[in-house]
Amino acid sequence: MALGYVDNDNFEIFPHLIVAGILGTILSVIASYIHYKNMISKLEEIYKSKDKEYYADID
């Protein structure tokens, strides 16, 4: 039995595993990018609100 073949149908599994791995990697990168952008925007909001409070205390 060769790598990635099933005895019954002679059905190739290996290319499907490669495609699934590539798609999973792409989706993971997209999800990480979206999460990163959301986290940065939340941190910027927190930073701006702290600046306003800080300057209000100085005045």
| Cα 40–chain centre separation | 15
Q: Which residue has the higher pLDDT, 43 or 13?
A: 43
pLDDT of residue 44: 85
Q: How far apart are CA 59 and CA 51, in angstroms?
A: 12
Q: What is the pLDDT of residues 23-53, one digit of tens each?
A: 999 999 999 999 999 999 888 888 887 766 6
Give the phi and the psi of residue 12 in degrees, each rounded to 5: -80, 120
Q: Is the model's pLDDT at 3 over the cut of 70? A: no
